[in-house]
Amino acid sequence: MVECDLCLEFKAAAPRNAPSKSSPKTKRTHRPMQQVAKAVMLGVQSIAMGLQQCVVAGGMESMSNAPFLLPRIRSTKVTGDLVMKDSMVVDGLQDAYKETSMGICAELCAEEMGISRYEQDSHAIQSYERALAAQATGLFNSEITPLTIVGKKVQDSKIIALDEECSKFNPEKLRSLPSAFLSNGTITAGNSSTIGDGSAVLLLASAEFAEKKGLPILARVRGFGDAAQAPEKFPTSPALAIPKALQHAGLEMKRVELFEINEAFSVVDLANRKLLGLLPDQVNIHGGAVSLGHPIGASGARIIVSLITNLALHRKRIGVASICNGGGGASAIVIERDLTYHL
């Protein structure tokens, strides 16, 4: 069983500057959607093995700035068209092997699990309602770092202190949206996660380091796990990773009080609830990626931050965060709130 103290946390509403070059102590991972959760796990391992005392783990994504790519020409061809590719799609939103959209995989999951369009829309509406309620009562304040977007003039500057997607909620419109991937499909823009820009970071440390530096301990990592299956099966991979993480933590499922399962699509949350026998009021209790946005390079850390916040707000002790990736895999991490930390 691995334990590591989580000392500080924040989630920013937009990307922050990242180092331009990797140092010997900097590791970068690339597993679309899952990579930041994996970065946290690698940080915990480094501390547990005595290689480091303190690790900053997180990620950022600016999907609105994702470039278009031109393939490098390696032939003698001098005429003809060059086709640009959307890096956001190629790098994060499709199966790298079959070049199938993640939405098609979600459609397959909905069909196999018998999850209807109505159920998915109802889930999405609840996600928005939960997020809006949390915003209105200031429940996100402790986990968000406001950012100032500087304009050409001082008066044009804008402070972002809330996730903006929630303000676009219209339940009637959501239920009337056309299917996005198949003509008779159940996946729509409304019951899918939204494209977003964001960053999320956690400070991991050993208990000794935290005590020495006077850092407040918010929670402990009790265990973690990875699982994978065929790429098109990615929506249900959290249901494989979560039991592994709990086994690593030495805990039974019944000990877990709250879950954060990344809402890549509403069907992802619904399918994993169904497979694991979870109650709606245990999972994503203040909304998820459908209503808050899914900057794919940040979400793995964002759900851990949200889990810690929710455990503290509701005086719960054990929680699990899990996120799937476009290659068929998923990561899960078990968190135990320090009983001295509450909001």
pLDDT at 326: 81
Whole-number CA gyration radius for the chain: 20
Q: Cα dist. 20→12, 58, 296 in Å?
A: 19, 15, 20
Q: Cα dist. 23→46, 47, 83, 173 in Å?
A: 16, 18, 35, 48
**87 Cα distance to chain centroid:** 19
Tell me the mean pLDDT in the region 83-110: 88
Contact by Cβ (8 Å): 109, 269: no
Domain boundaries, given as residue ranges, for the chain: 97-196+221-337
Give me the helices (H) in 114-206, please: 117-136, 171-176
Tell me the mean pLDDT in the region 167-178: 94
Q: Cα dist. 329→81, 96, 244, 324 in Å?
A: 36, 13, 13, 6
Give dist(CA 66, CA 32) in Å, integer.
14
Phi, psi of 159 (to 5 degrees): -100, 125
Cβ-based neighbours of 100, under 8 Å, separated by 6 or more? 94, 231, 232
Give dist(CA 186, CA 267) in Å, integer.
9
Phi, psi of 233 (to 5 degrees): -95, 10
Q: What is the mean pLDDT of the chain?
A: 88
Query: Is residue 5 very low, low, confident or very high in pLDDT (cuts 50, 70, 90)?
Result: low
The length of the chain is 343
Give residue-wise pLDDT tens across range 225-265. Answer: 999 999 999 999 999 999 999 999 999 999 999 999 999 99
Cβ-based neighbours of 23, under 8 Å, separated by 6 or more? none
pLDDT at 89: 87
Tell me the mean pLDDT in the region 92-107: 86
Task: Identify the DSSP state of 189.
Answer: S
Task: Name which residue leads in pLDDT, 167 or 139.
Answer: 139
Homologous superfamily of the 97-196+221-337 domain (CATH):
Thiolase/Chalcone synthase (3.40.47.10)
Give residue-wise pLDDT tens across range 258-295. Answer: 999 999 999 999 999 999 999 999 999 999 999 999 99
Taking residue 287's Cβ as centre, other Cβ atoms within 10 Å add up to 24
Contact by Cβ (8 Å): 302, 202: no
Task: Identify the DSSP state of 287.
Answer: B
